[in-house]
Amino acid sequence: MARTEKKKDVVLVGFGWTGAIMGIELANEGLEVLALERGHDQDTVPNFQYPNMIDELKYGIRYGMMEKPANTTVTIRRSLDEEALPYRSLGTFLLGTGVGGAGTHWNGLNWRPMQSEYRLKSYVTEKFGAGVMTEDMTIQDYPMSYEELEPHFDRFEKVAGISGTAGNINGKIVEGGNPFEAPRSDEYPMPAMPSTWDGVKFRDAAKAAGYHPFPSPGGIASKDYKNEYNMQMGPCNHCGFCERYGCYNYSKSSPQTAIIDALKRKKNFEYRVNSEVLRVEKSTDGKTVTGVTYFDHKTGEEVFQPADLVILTAFALNNVHLMLVSGIGQPYDPNTNEGVVGRNYAYQITGGYTLFFKDEDFNPFIGTGANGFCIDDFGIDNIDFAKEGFVGGAYWRAGQTNGQPGRSMPLPAGTPSWGAGWKKGIGEWYGHAMSIGAHGSVMSYRGHYLDLDPTYKDRHGRPMLRMTYNWHPNEIRQTQFMKQKMEPVAKSMNPTTMQEGFKKEGAMFDVRPYQTTHNTGGTVTGDDPKTSVLNRYLQSWDCHNLFVMGANTFPQNTQYNPTGMVGGLAYWAAHAIRKDYLPNPRPLV
Amino acid sequence: MKKLIRVLGVLVVLGVIALLAFIFVPVQRTGPATQLAADFKPAKGQGEYVMRAGDCMACHTNEGGKPFAGGRAIQSPMGTIWTTNITPDKETGIGNWSLDDFRAALYDGVTPNGTHLYPAMPYENYRKMSEEDIVALYDYFMHEVEPVSNKVEETKLGFPFNLRFGLRAWNWLAASYAPGFKPNAGEDEQFNRGKYLVEGAAHCAACHSPRNLFMAQDGIDETSKAFLTGGEIDGYTAPDLRGPASGPQKWTTEQTAAYLSTARNAHSTATGEMMLVVRDSLQYMTHEDNMAIAAYLKKIGTGGEQAAAAPAEPVVTETQKMLTEAKPDMPLGPRLYLDNCGGCHFVTGKGAGETFPELDGNSLVTAKSPKGLISVILHGAELPSTADRPMKLRMQGYDQRLSDEEIAALATFLREGWTNKAPAVSAADVKAVRDLAHH
């Protein structure tokens, strides 16, 4: 039996980064706000507390903080001809759950996209001609400019507590920072973290090669910090347990450190955990939404939660799934190239070199998720697409994140993978290896998309989300370009031996090894309702009282980790809702 | 001989009469300290503010109970005292009390029927409250507090403390001074506002002053040498507030005010009872009032000049060197520190900003009674969410991870490390605190 709860002004679906941002921004407007979180409640103490959290087996290997695929997963296929199969065993990406969401178990790498990325299609066409794009490429411009977003990036960085060195303040290039970054209005709120020795070695080699190294920017506190909500962080001790873990030290930026306790003080804010939203409900004329129906895992019943404003603030894939199962917006059809929901799904391409040094001790147990030095010399802005034959770019980084034995014991190729030979290899090489990674963009294509699976249903009887994705030759060319540029830098560091890990022509998407959790697109933002689900304020073209946050709004994936953009867009949308929508609810475009 | 017997007889009769009078003649109740205008009406919110300043809620509300309905057990050296229902319920609360009855409870420690209150109720201090605040507080309890019918357990202390009339004599010692507040004419308004709050409603001396031979607060204002120089509550040390090493003297006035309103500042955090005081009382004080309290405390410091000057260059202590070297053969205490504490409090013992408190020079660490320190190591600590610092910063407990011997070694190290100098802690001390949690 379904029960109906008392109506709220705003219901938020998911209580991670964007849910927390929307929660506090709209609660500050005096609205009655409810956040529904499918997972459990969690906080630094007791959930992440020392030493229980730093258990590699439980959290690093057995994914203790992640949503179990038995509860929620997707089906995956690599082309339209394949039959998609459920992603039953976690590998290539990890979906978090519980209060704080992926914001609790990330590495903390925080970026703003490069300047050309906001108007990528125009930039590519104007500068290199439309011919550099492959025929099936469906990239498009963001409907808002970097200049419009800048104050919101700045705000998110200050709320989240990001450490870094600015490279471009209002157009003035600052020594030591990233000279290629889009101009920022202010410094990072905290100075950059110190780097471990591998990062320093890379910095020196990159500099010698004529590149422009800068400290990696990240949500790892380099000092004690207080943000605009008077929430606090303490300085990081480089324990090396960031990704896949909650931070026990109040040092990694998360909804818990940045927002939640301040939000909990508000009497007009409420959150309910174990409350999994099943669908958004539409009004009879389909022009607005009336609320959401969720499954209350405590009572085992469906609940209708009416609300004037619904904001999807779940993980990217879940937001797209909800739009599809709720029948809001036309689902994308790759055969006709019509429809919008599920269109322009993109992932991330990574590659790198591992370098082994007989005589170097890297002390890999010292690390942070955003450790080390980066270069952006091969970023999107800096590549001649016409000459190189691809569209895209990558940033490089060297900086160990952890020395956990189960996850971080690289061995030279040819070392036995078990037995005495393996033990000998570990004895010889543990602590003597470092890596340089390239973190590359992925364009959107006609054949890469999300829709509802025709066969598999989830535990609530809803069709599962189906992902159709494979590596595209454009990205293979991009990553091979990175390999070619990285090899001489790696060699210049004189390792005893080194080995590469870049995808080659013909590489197929393999969901087994972890790659990244950067899933983007599916409900993209744009100027044209025929090619986007959301307008420039992340408002649904179909139902004006529905807004959708997350990386699912990206028209294509950037070359960076998405959180900075996700946070910036959330503040941008929150601003529009507060200043423009609430006084007069209507389609804002 | 006959005469002697007669004299003795008269003396006995007089003695019996005096005793009967002592027991049965009603106590003279103190009237208002000042006469207010007939049409005096407290400002809106003043009564609630005085309630916060006096922290009435902390004692008169049971864990999970309705506000002010009483029934909370206060552990005293004489036995358990059950707090009363002070909601305006006519049967079980104070709904039938007149303003004079109410004032008498605050000033004289007597109820309308003449029963003496135990001085767990700090009427020694409340006696300093102004008539305006008394009226505002009365008005608040009568009109803004929800009446709750809740018959609380009667306090039954053992002999001789069950003879409440004995408190009459105690009151001659402790609470016979002229009621109301006498500002110090030589000082400014801020000082006197701080003095009024500290000595009166906020009843700081109830914990932070030592007790004299008769268990009364040793001094009720700054003219007494012992006033606020540290006391004991339920076996925990309430630190000195006046000596050169004390918080209010080492810290800036702003830092002390921040500590009072947020339970944290750049040096330290409030734990235990003081955390509750911030949670229930001080966080609701205005910035000006917490600044006044801080300024007053600073002014009444006994350390003189030496308190202020901190070394320009941080001194690298032997402890810091040992922790930095981290030799495998280091003693158990510092090794446990590196394995469990150093991640936040660092080898310097200085912590970080308002997030991780200093352990070097921390009054909890070096307190006379190690009970507070042991309790925090065992069970952790949580800061209250306040308007200025909403984060419930928590330190986790180590009761599952460390044995009594290990905690004793760790606590001893903390009490002797850096510039700290306090006596060692034994495993038996730790066990005693650990056992408390298992009642």
pLDDT tens, N- to C-terminus, chain A (589 residues) = 589 999 999 999 999 999 999 999 999 999 999 999 999 999 999 999 999 999 999 999 999 999 999 999 999 999 999 999 999 999 999 999 999 999 999 999 999 999 999 999 999 999 999 999 999 999 999 999 999 999 999 999 999 999 999 999 999 999 999 999 999 999 999 999 999 999 999 999 999 999 999 999 999 999 999 999 999 999 999 999 999 999 999 999 999 999 999 999 999 999 999 999 999 999 999 999 999 999 999 999 999 999 999 999 999 999 999 999 999 999 999 999 999 999 999 999 999 999 999 999 999 999 999 999 999 999 999 999 999 999 999 999 999 999 999 999 999 999 999 999 999 999 999 999 999 999 999 999 999 999 999 999 999 999 999 999 999 999 999 999 999 999 999 999 999 999 999 999 999 999 999 999 999 999 999 999 999 999 999 999 999 999 999 999 999 999 999 999 999 999 999 999 999 999 999 999 9
- Sequence spans of domains, chain A: 3-581
**Range of B345's domain?**
318-436
- Which chain A residues are closer than 8 Å to B352 by Cβ? 223-224, 234-235
Which residues 6+ apart lie within 8 Å of B279 measured at CB?
B263, B384, B386
Q: Which of A534-538, B101-105, B150-154, B290-294 has the lowest mean pLDDT?
A: B150-154
Judge whether B392 is closer than 8 Å to chain A, CB to CB. yes
Number of domains in chain B: 3
Is A105 annotated as catalytic?
no
Tell me whether residue B110 is exposed, middle or buried, using C-beta atoms within 10 angstroms of its C-beta: 0 to 12, 13 to 18, 19 or more: buried
A202 Cα to chain B: minimum distance (Å): 27
**For residues B227 and B198, is the Cβ–Cβ distance under 8 A?**
no
Asked if B166 and B196 sit in the same domain, the reply is: no
Taking the C-alpha atoms of residue B222 and residue B227, their distance in angstroms, rounded to an integer, is 6
Asked if B50 and B150 sit in the same domain, the reply is: yes
Asked if B124 and B54 sit in the same domain, the reply is: yes
Nearest CB partner across the interface for A49, out of B390, B392, B396: B396
Does CATH place domain A3-581 in 3.50.50.60? yes
In a domain, residue B26? The reply is no
Q: Is the per-residue pLDDT at B305 higher than 70?
A: no
- Which chain B residues are closer than 8 Å to A232 by Cβ? 353-355, 389, 391, 393
| The pair of three-digit structure tokens given for residue A79, joined into one six-digit string | 């082309």
3-class secondary structure, A107:
coil
* DSSP states along A362-429: --TTSB-TT-SEEE-TTSGGG--HHHHT----EEEEE------TTT-----TTS-SSHHHHHHHHHHH
Q: In the Cβ-directed half-sphere of B26, how many Cα atoms lie within 13 Å?
A: 9
How far is CA A324 from each of CA A141, A293, A321, A388, A446, rounded to the nearest angstrom?
24, 15, 5, 38, 18
Tell me whether residue B174 is exposed, middle or buried, using C-beta atoms within 10 angstroms of its C-beta: 0 to 12, 13 to 18, 19 or more: buried
Asked if B283 and B251 sit in the same domain, the reply is: yes
Torsions phi, psi of A113, nearest 5? -60, 160
Tell me which chain A residue has its CA closest to the CA of residue B347: A237
Taking the C-alpha atoms of residue A490 and residue A438, their distance in angstroms, rounded to an integer, is 12
Which residues 6+ apart lie within 8 Å of A28 measured at CB?
A266
pLDDT at A30: 98
In a domain, residue B361? The reply is yes
**For residues B429 and B372, is the Cβ–Cβ distance under 8 A?**
no
Please tell me whether the overall predicted TM-score, pTM, comes out greater than 0.80 for this model: yes
Which residues 6+ apart lie within 8 Å of B381 measured at CB?
B269, B271, B272, B275, B394, B395
pLDDT at B307: 47
- Which chain A residues are closer than 8 Å to B354 by Cβ? 224, 226, 232
Q: Is the per-residue pLDDT at B175 higher than 80?
A: no
For residue A134, count other CB atoms closer than 10 A to its CB. 16
Asked if B166 and B90 sit in the same domain, the reply is: yes
Asked if B298 and B331 sit in the same domain, the reply is: no
In a domain, residue B219? The reply is yes
The verdict on a CB contact (< 8 Å) between B344 and A264 is no
Asked if B195 and B232 sit in the same domain, the reply is: yes
CATH number of the structural domain spanning residue B419 = 1.10.760.10
Residue with tokens 């608040």: B140
| Partner residues linked to A33 by β-bridges | A10, A269
DSSP A171: T
Judge whether B65 is closer than 8 Å to chain A, CB to CB. no
Domain-terminating residue out of B149, B174, B199: B174
Taking the C-alpha atoms of residue A577 and residue A585, their distance in angstroms, rounded to an integer, is 9
Domain-terminating residue out of B307, B338, B368: B307
For residue A425, count other CB atoms closer than 10 A to its CB. 18
Domain-terminating residue out of B128, B146, B174: B174
Q: Which of B396, B399, B406 to probe by mutation at the A interface, max A CB count within 10 Å? A: B396
Taking the C-alpha atoms of residue A553 and residue A311, their distance in angstroms, rounded to an integer, is 13
